[in-house]
Structure 1
Amino acid sequence: MSRALDQETAASLKKGNPLAAYQAIANVLTSTYDGLLELEILGKSHFFEDGQYVLQDGCAAGISKLGLVQAFMVARQYLKDHLDGVKSRPADEILATTAVILLFDPEFLTAANTRKRLIQAQISSCGDARSRLDKEKRFLDSLLTSRLHRHTKSPTLWSHRRWLMSMFASSNLPTDVLGDLRDIVFVAGERHPRNYYAWCHARFLMGLDKNVNFPEVLAAVRAWCFQHHTDTSGWSFLYFLLNTKDGSNVGVGVSTFTQVLNLVSSLRLANESVWVFLRTLAASRLVGDEQSSQLRAVQSAVLETVRTPADQAVLRAAVDWCETYRQHGSTHAAGV
């Protein structure tokens, strides 16, 4: 949500009950429903009765924008008083406070770091790492996958998730890499196309579990790229997979190249994202001269169907680039 407030909203802040707004929104964020929350910030075009700050149906919750601003003001003061030693509050209450703050502002680093300290302290005192980490994962993944534009690409939230998954690993708790890719990274990538932070997290996840089922991951990522063929970040991750130990053999590279090239040929795709992927793969050690020739043939066929100069330039540049770097035998300096 934007932190900019129009004059009408600013004037409305003087009315209402900020404490009631805080309690209502905090209750939603700390609820114990199964599954992830589907959160959305609703503006003045949505009707809220007096004293109502949340519209909820199961795990789906619409939060009043005005109510969230009021709740944030309360939560920020609670956190400040707690950190300054003015008034100490229980850990669960501060977790609720920081949840409200991060819903309003996902880049509030102090709130994220406070949650880290509280979670570590709770695990040290009670030893129930699984329950505490699962609860944090549910809250965090709800923010990252909801229709909250700033949250899905938030470097602070993705960094917090990286820390969280490291906590799972250090506690010897199993992680579902493929599930996280499908349910979190893919969804965040759809919510915010070319989501650099989400796909960086995907790379991190691949290094977290050495026993991950690589063929299943490769198939899932390839399918996502086919459905979002203009998303360069997805293609970049697919190329990353092909260059890992499990993917770096000619058979896997050729199979992937052929499938992508068939998609491009059948749909006459000319977008830069897919052609950057193809040119890089064609110039790499993962495919042979036959695939490079196939790329030129498909490029010529697609070139006959496109009319815009920009698309034509993309196609020509892809083949020129491929020929240049294949001759030099290296694509690492200018890869996807």
Structure 2
Amino acid sequence: MTITALTRKLVTSLVEDASTAPSMHNAQPWKFVHRVGTGTVELYGDPTRGMPREDPDHRALHLGCGAALFGLRVAAAHHGLHAAGHLLPDPGDPWYLADVRLRPNAAGEGDEDETLSSLHSVLRKRHTSRFPFTEERVPAEILDGLRAAALLEGCRLGVPGAWHTDTVLDLVHVSELFESADASVRAEIAAWTRTGATDDGTETEGIPAYAFGPRQYDVTSPVRDFDTQRGAQGRVSARFEKTPQIALLGTAQDTPEQWLAAGQALHRVLLQATLDGLSTSLMSQPVEWPELRSLTRDPGATTGYVHMVIRLGYGPKGRATPRRPAEDVLTFV
């Protein structure tokens, strides 16, 4: 395939696939620019879709954009293209997050691109599940595969033991108390939830009520309740797993480049988990509070900074949440 074969239709398809990525509160804080005739797609962060209270440093925004970048790589590989990404190409523009050059696969790139292409089948099947999981344990070989997926993106996925899991779950509950006591945080979350009220905002973003999942009878699982004000109608209650299985995604450093790497690792892990038949949900509450974030890491581990708590197991698959149309996130120049 030549550069001239990168048609508007193909680039639009690539960006639509990339936009299936997870992001904080489904804000979808990314923008793509395709420079026609160059084979280049540029990725930008959109600070207007940031969370000033929950994500003042824009770390979660970078994670979401990194996940979208990984989705673009998967989509490109599916179409026989190699996506060579250069992170943070312009020191003068902090929102210019990546420069991606698309070209046909070259010798030596086939194995990696084939692996990426194998994930394409679950791009649109991966959804956050805020439903109860069973107590069935995830086999060690599957966990090893998820660890390997993170390592391929230069990140680490830790599966904590019993004491560390209990510590993280305690921090989840503490972060919920912090959140309930902070009106500005609650207001920010409410701005990104959709309960069907007339002032809910657009239907192409945010967390819709059908994705909230049931309320917990007993708070045993690290599942964020986006309906703390109980505005959603018809929500039932259910018992969640008593011994949640979690994994912690982290990096050695805490820089924008590492955040983008962590976003790519996050999406890779989630897609691999989906391919392995697992259901997943994300919990960022403990890492949103500086006084709690450092406590989530295992002091004996080499991971310096935790970016996400991932809940995984066997249970109902979540439903797809809305996505912005391509014309809202893609520009041709």
Instruction: Give the structure-2-normalised TM-score.
Output: 0.25
Instruction: Give the structure-1-normalised TM-score.
Output: 0.25
| Rg (Cα) greater in structure | 1
Higher strand share: 2
Higher helix share: 1
